[in-house]
Amino acid sequence: MTTQNLKQEFGKVGVLFGGRSAEREVSLMSGQGVLAALQGKGIDAHPFDPAERSLAELAAEKFDRVFIALHGSYGEDGTLQGALEQLRIPYTGPGVMASSIAMDKVMTKRICLSAGVPTPKFAVLDAGQTSADQLQSVAREFGLPLMLKAPHEGSTIGIAKVEDANGMQAGFDLCAKYDDVVLVEQFVKGRELTVPVIGSGRNVRALPIVEIRAPQGNYDYQHKYFSNDTQYLCPAPLDEEFTRRIQALAVSAFKAVGCTGWSRVDFMVRESDHEPFLLEINTSPGMTSHSLVPMSAKVAGTGYEDLCVEILRLAKLELKPSQHSKAD
């Protein structure tokens, strides 16, 4: 399709990035990449940072659709999606409900378990009312090492791997800075895999699996976005049957939570018995130079610019106008 046709198809496009979450830095990198890609295709794309401009200004821009490149709170959690529904501006990624659920690791686990997608054993602790004795009791119940997580954060922010009982309090305090509750998760030793899922309705498909091999298995914020020490294998070196199984689980999780458009589903595969466990669903995945969705899409034959166009083409509104809605 020519650049003129793309410009006509999409009209005026806003790329939303930056924002106010703890993941602002990553969002800026994602958004700048998406903006350059869309403009490189001849699309009339413009930057918009919700941390610096109001919803009134967003409405005044009269965007025909927006590409959400925000990560974390106020962008990936359903709040922005709800505002865009009110403004009647089609947007990329899942809708209000799915975005809200997927942003909550606890709710994601509960829903995916009900759909037959396994997740590691977990418990939820009150960030303000959990005693040292309770923490030690949890350590004994789950065994060590274990994972502590702020369930509403992403990009490995608010996460701690506890190696021994003496580290429980420090790990808990770190996570409690970011959330009202702390997720305790059984540690799964093994291979880390991620599966991009893209599409809507009957056209949902899983892209090639990426295996992540970080130094000492420590896939933290630095190794995720800035280090060149982390290895990414795509397609992951898995046999064909197991590859299909993981991709099917990713699509099942995507659909169970109610996702549309695109997302990325993260798994651990236990070393002892090769059983997979879902960790989380990212409904606005990174689009930086180190990001995994563009890496997977490239292996499938779709370059970065074309991927951005495909995601933008899937932009929509989740809520249909009621019969009492005023016509535009």
Amino acid, single-letter form, for residue 270: R
Residue 107: count of CB within 10 angstroms of its CB: 15
Active-site residue 266, yes or no?
A: yes
Residue 177: count of CB within 10 angstroms of its CB: 12
pLDDT reported for residue 221:
46
Q: Are residues 224 and 299 in the same domain?
A: yes
- Give the separation between CA 147 and CA 120, rounded to whole angstroms: 10
Full residue range of the structural domain in which residue 259 is found: 101-118+189-313
Q: Are residues 15 and 72 in the same domain?
A: yes
- Give the separation between CA 138 and CA 206, rounded to whole angstroms: 36
Check 185, 280, 305, 318 and give the catalytic one.
280
Active-site residue 5, yes or no?
A: no
Active-site residue 164, yes or no?
A: no
- Give the separation between CA 23 and CA 51, rounded to whole angstroms: 12
Q: Are residues 30 and 114 in the same domain?
A: no
Check 190, 261, 286, 318 and give the catalytic one.
286
Q: Are residues 298 and 207 in the same domain?
A: yes
pLDDT reported for residue 7:
92
Provide the whole-model pTM: 0.91
Active-site residue 240, yes or no?
A: no
CATH number, domain with residue 42: 3.40.50.20
Cβ distance 308 to 92 under 8 Å? no
- Give the separation between CA 208 and CA 324, rounded to whole angstroms: 44
Of 130, 165, 186, at which residue does a domain stop?
186
Active-site residue 185, yes or no?
A: no
Nearest to 316 by CA among 238, 256, 261: 261
Please give, one letter per residue, the 3-state secondary structure of the chain.
Answer: CCHHHHHHHHCEEEEECCCCCCCHHHHHHHHHHHHHHHHHCCCEEEEECCCCCCHHHHHHCCCCEEEECCCCCCCCCCHHHHHHHHHCCCECCCCHHHHHHHHCHHHHHHHHHHCCCCCCCEEEEECCCCCHHHHHHHHHHHCCCEEEECCCCCCCCCEEEECCHHHHHHHHHHHHCCCCEEEEEECCCEEEEEEEEEECHHHCEECCCEEEECHHHCCCHHHHHCCCCCEEECCCCCCHHHHHHHHHHHHHHHHHHCCCEEEEEEEEEECCCCCEEEEEEECCCCCCCCCHHHHHHHHCCCCHHHHHHHHHHCCECCCCCCCCCCCC
Distance of CA 198 to CAs 181, 253, 265, 283, 310, Å?
31, 13, 11, 11, 9
At how many degrees (to 10) do helices 132-142 and 168-176 cross? 110
Check 23, 104, 192, 318 and give the catalytic one.
23
Q: Are residues 182 and 285 in the same domain?
A: no
Check 95, 225, 284, 291 and give the catalytic one.
225
Q: Are residues 114 and 131 in the same domain?
A: no
pLDDT reported for residue 216:
64
Structure tokens at 197: 């899922």
At how many degrees (to 10) do helices 79-87 and 96-103 cross? 170
pLDDT reported for residue 223:
44
Check 199, 264, 284, 305 and give the catalytic one.
264
Active-site residue 264, yes or no?
A: yes
Q: Are residues 250 and 113 in the same domain?
A: yes
- Give the separation between CA 62 and CA 35, rounded to whole angstroms: 17
Cis, bond preceding 145 (omega within 30 deg of 0) = yes
Active-site residue 271, yes or no?
A: no
Check 73, 99, 155, 284 and give the catalytic one.
155
Check 266, 304, 305, 318 and give the catalytic one.
266
Nearest to 38 by CA among 61, 58, 68: 68
Of 168, 186, 204, at which residue does a domain stop?
186
Check 21, 73, 282, 284 and give the catalytic one.
282
Q: Are residues 292 and 210 in the same domain?
A: yes
pLDDT reported for residue 220:
47
Structure tokens at 243: 């590859």
Mean pLDDT per 10-residue run, the chain (328 residues)? 87 97 92 98 98 97 98 93 97 97 96 97 96 96 96 78 95 94 96 97 96 71 56 97 98 98 98 97 92 97 97 93 55
CATH number, domain with residue 170: 3.30.1490.20
- Give the separation between CA 122 and CA 109, rounded to whole angstroms: 9
Domain presence at residue 69: yes
Domain presence at residue 27: yes
- Give the separation between CA 246 and CA 111, rounded to whole angstroms: 18
